[in-house]
Amino acid sequence: MPFTEVLNRRVFYAHRAPVPAKGPAVVFIHGAGGSHQPWLYQVRTLSRCTTYAPDLPGHGRSEGPGRESIAAYGDWLVAFLDAVGLKQGVLVGHSMGGAIAQDVALRYPQWVAGLGLVATGARLRVAPAILESIRRDFNAAVRLITDFAFGPEAPEEMKRLGRRQMAQTPPDVLYGDFVACDNFDALGRLGGIGAPAAVVCGTQDRLTPVKFSAYLHDHLPDARLHLVEGAGHMVMVERPQAVAQALEELVARI
């Protein structure tokens, strides 16, 4: 798993390059307070696709400050694509990562061959209580967020690992991520995204419920909706094979 330099900062990313590779590269973008780790199953198993999953700045093992707007993360992602030598890719984003993917598709469409929008929406409002709790009691905020993030069938060990991973994110970075989500709004602009999309959502998602994905499906020009029965917000961890299959179908369409 290599490092690269983006905007003069060291960036870590997971990477797989099968031989021979087929089709466009797939770039996985994690959610607020996350890292590349929830995407490892898809990075390793997407057949014949070159895959990348960076830690966003200030997250995981990547240096630099986090950002407080989706557009700033979108600019950073384009710089990352350039740093690893990609001119176009399928952008697959979870939650905040899905907002980043939409932003890049709207402002830098030439970089986007397709979109995987996983447990996300065209608007991602954040309850004021969550923002306040991050400032007031970071550990309690992490517990609250991760309790809502997993579906009822997720094992306790999976939830515990999720809490531990989010708790490693600096509080100011997590706060900035949720501010970025709260201010994101692509409602009314989705018609400007021409790339084919796979929209994936767990039926038990309490953070970005099914209606968010249904809106994306109904307003994107070329989208297919994949509902994953019983999964929560962390659908790519809870049901990794189902998410990988939806992405395989997307890549096959491109």
Domain ranges of the chain: 3-253
Beta-strand relationship, 51-54 and 89-94: unpaired
User: Could you tell me the CA-to-CA distances from 161 to 7, 37, 87, 168 in Å, in that order?
Assistant: 31, 11, 35, 11
Domain 3-253 classification at class level = alpha beta
What pTM does this model have? Answer: 0.97
Percent of the chain with pLDDT over 70: 100
Two tokens, residue 223:
């989208």
Q: Convert the pLDDT of each residue in 90-126 to its tens digit.
A: 999 999 999 999 999 999 999 999 999 999 999 999 9
